[in-house]
Structure formats: structure tokens, C-alpha cells
A and B are shown apart, each in its own frame.
Chain A
Amino acid sequence: MEEKIGQQTLRLNTPVYVISHGNCVSAFEEDGPLKGRFDTVVEDEYFGEKTFELAEVKLQKTAITNALEHAGLKIGDLGLVTGGDLLNQCIASGYSMRDSGVPFVGLYGACSTMALSTCMATLAICSGFTKFAGALTSSHFCSAERQFRYPLEYGGQRPPSAQHTVTGSGAVILSAEKKSKLRVSELTLGRIVDFDVTDINNMGGAMAPAAMDTLTAFFTDTHSKPDDYDLIVTGDLGQYGSDILRDIMRQNGLPLGDNYNDCGLMIYDRERQDAHAGGSGCGCSASVLTSYILPEMELGNLKNVLFMATGALMSPTSVMQNQSIPAIAHLVHFVREDGSL
């Protein structure tokens, strides 16, 4: 039986295994530090489709197809897919799963969606709803720009704190039945935290308090500390958000050491690529999770990882109405177990 520990964390006593992962990114991500690690790289942002939104649908379909191939499964073998994206009404996810014939739960967590969808897929397995579940998400630079910001050819200037939305999709397949060396040990669902940041160009700054809140909840609930883990990652706090997180965690008595990193900083080479404060978007944490974190765990280089994605829950409308930016962070604790299965 799963065990609720503390206020926000569930400890899984019945193992839920991560049996495979898949991703699909664009040439810009492939040009970064994680070059060569991605399953599929798309040269042009349209991915052969008429619109960016349809391209994002195709990114998702490709990512989940890759994950299913790696697991030796077909889409019909999944009892549930959880997914979401940044587009209005989450159309990238709805349309990518349209022909799947699989029960689908659409979620909105903004850039926290990879962690959120993994948590929800895990809970579905724990509840007995299904034995095989997929967690999926994506983002696309062009579709995000046209929805949240400006037309692509518009001559606007972006400040140093702005981030570059990752064009990428990631999928993870989880199972209670088929085993692997990687499993979900705990999951922590976050609360919405709003520290009155109104600067739409500083998402990292807006989201850092939510990251602190969820991380603190996890450490408190599990009676652990940052040093206990090989790697702690945040989804897309970027340069300034991650600096701020280090400060506020230290102030909270839980300092983050060299084992802390941010997916937004891992996906791009900020010296060479025009990515300002780093990568962002649901696809940021999803592509780093599936191209680096889980593969490194499979190789045995990482054994104990906290994967926490953060999301900013504002919309262009709320920003125009001068509302501040609320944020949320969800966390998954992945562990690798050596020894025979």
C-alpha cells in the first residue's frame, strides 16, 4: 500500500518502474551540450506540417512512438496516457492522442507538466487503474511565441532574463508489471506559490519560490537533505531563477550543493547559442529527463535523482490585467536499483 508521508509526499511501497523513455527535439537543441543524446532531431520547425501547432503534435507523436519502441510495446498496450502542453486548450496533447484509442488525461502544469504527468501516471498505476501508463509533454518555440509573446518576425528586443522555449517533446512509460532498474520512489505534488512577481520576462524569478516550497516539503516529508541525492534538477528556472533558488534554499537551512542543476541550463550552451537565461517550456525538462537523466541512471552513473519541474500559471490575459505570476512545482524521486530483477 502506498504511504502518504508528511503533507505533500507519497512513498511508493509497490514499485512503479520506468520502463522506457523517448524524445524528439529540433536542431537548436541538438546543437547544445546534449548533442547526440536525442532519439529524433527535426531540422525544420514545421516538421513537414502546415503550422507550428501541428508540428508540435507531431513532436509528441514521435516522442511517444520512440518510447513505445524502446519498451517493445504498442500504443494499445497503455491503459492511460497523461499529457499536457503550453498551447491553449492543450491542443498539442489532445490532437497527438486523438487516434490512440487510449484513455487520456489532459493536464495543465505549464512547464511543470513533465513532472506532473509522471506523477499522475504513477498514481494511476498505484490505484490499479492500469498496469502500463505513459506520461507525455511538449513545447515548441514558435507556437509558444505566437501565443504568449510576439509574431516571429516582429522586431522586439528580449532582456537577458528571458528564456528560450525548447522545441521538444518527451515521453516516459511506467509500469508496475514490467520491471526495470529504475523506479519512482516518492512523488511530491506542489502547492501554488505566488510571491507577487509581475515581470513576464523573468519566469525563473517568478517560479523559484514554488521550487523552494516543493523541495522543502519533500525534504521535510522524507526527513532527508540535499546532499543525500546524486542530482537534484529543476525544470527551467534558468540562470537567474536557479541562482535565486540557491539563495533562498540556503536561507531555509537546506543549501543546494554542486549536485543541483537546472534543465534550462543543461539543454543550451548559453555562450554560443542565443538562449539568454536558458531553456524553458514543458519540453525543456522532458527532453533533458529523457535524453540525459534517465539514460545516465540506466548506465548506473546516477542512482538517486530528484526531478522537479516548475510551471508559471499565468496567461497573457492575466498579465494584461496586471495580475502577478503564480507558480507551482512537482517532484518525482527516481531511484536506480542494482541487483537482479
Chain B
Amino acid sequence: MIKKDNYSEYVKKKTKNSPLAKNCLWAFLVGGAICTVGQLILNGIKKLGVSPEDAKIWLPIILVFLGALFTGFGLYDSLAKRAGAGTIIPITGFSNSIVSSAMEFKKEGFILGVGAKMFTIAGPVLVYGTMAGVVYGIIRYIVMMIWG
């Protein structure tokens, strides 16, 4: 007998789940492909004579640019529909989240639209990523102080 207290479970049972195996495979392949492209770009930059330290800075700049470009062309979300986490996790996904928000809210103007709402999706990543860095830094400092 379906009642209010067992209704949520009943709904879960009746509703088709996302195809987990297929999604994982796509995420793996596309995420891996993006990272492979990244590696190729890194190797290419180094071949051009850029130092390894500088190359590591250039790489995210290039990948963020590519993420933004494909988002602007309306292609990133088409790939993401299949790839799921494969396009969200790499830094290109971070770029997509900011650029897509900026594009969306341009209609409300540059200040209150683009400026204010650009980070609606990426905000938590920035806040908690920075905070994690701070916490790690404090832990590292204390550890270094104790063990020298």
C-alpha cells in the first residue's frame, strides 16, 4: 500500500535511474581525452622552449580559454550532456561554469548581471577551494614548526 511515509522510496523505485555504467564510461573517456589534450599542450609548450614552471602556468590559461571558447560557441554543453563529470571536473568545466553564467546574465547588464552573477555556479569552488588552501597552509606551518 503506497502511503505518504513510503512514497519517496516508491517514487525512486518507479523512476528510471541514469544509466550509471554508460555515464561512467563517457565521463572516463571524455575526461581522459581533455586531460590528454592538456598533456599534449603542455609538451608542446615545453618544446617551444618555455620553462617547466612557466609551462605549468600557461597550461591552465590555455585550457580555461578553450573551455570559454567552446562554451561561447554553444558546443561545451552538447559534449557535457553525454560526458557529465568528464566535462565538469577538468578546469575546462570550471571555465564553462563561469562563462555560461556570464553569457546568461548579460541581459541584466554588465554590473548587476555579468559582474554579480558570474560566479553563481563557480562560487563554492572558489570559496571552499581557497579555504582548503588556507587550512592546508596552516596545518603545514604548524607541522613545519614542530618537526622543523
Contact = CB atoms under 8 A, between A and B. Distances in A.
B14 A240 contact: yes
A161 B17 CA distance: 8
Contact of B100 (A52, A151, A159, A243): A151
B18 A152 contact: no
Given A152-B100, A153-B71, A243 B4 contact: no
A206 B11 CA distance: 8
B91 interface: no
A50 B101 CA distance: 17
A247 interface: yes
B107 interface: yes
A244 B93 contact: no
B79 interface: yes
Contacts of A205: 11, 14-15
B137 interface: no
A146 B88 contact: no
Interface of B: 1-2, 4, 7-8, 10-12, 14-18, 23, 71-72, 74, 76-77, 79-81, 83-84, 87-88, 93, 96-97, 99-101, 103-105, 107, 121
Q: Specify the main secondary structure of chain B where it touches its partner.
A: helix
Interface stretch (A71-79, A194-202, A331-339): A194-202
Contacts of A197: 7-8, 11
A322 interface: no
Q: Specify the main secondary structure of chain A where it touches its partner.
A: loop
Contacts of A196: 4, 7-8
Contact of A155 (B7, B23, B87, B103): B87
A160 B2 contact: no
Given A195-B4, A251-B1, A251-B2, A150 B11 contact: no
Interface in A152-168: 152-161
B15 A154 contact: no
B109 to A, nearest CB: 11
Give the interface size class of chain A.
Answer: 20 to 34
B15 A153 contact: no
Nearest to A52: B107
A50 B76 contact: no
Interface in A120-151: 146, 150-151
23 contacts: A150-B100, A153-B72, A153-B76, A153-B96, A154-B97, A155-B76, A155-B80, A155-B88, A157-B18, A157-B84, A158-B81, A160-B15, A160-B18, A195-B4, A195-B8, A196-B4, A196-B7, A196-B8, A197-B11, A199-B12, A206-B11, A248-B2, A251-B2
A157 B24 CA distance: 12
B1 to A, nearest CB: 7
A323 interface: no
Contacts of A259: none
A51 interface: yes
A160 B23 CA distance: 12
List the 9 closest A-B pairs by CB distance, nearest first. Answer: A155-B80, A151-B104, A153-B100, A205-B11, A151-B100, A154-B100, A195-B7, A157-B84, A160-B16
Contacts of B96: 153-155
B17 A151 contact: no
Nearest to B106: A51
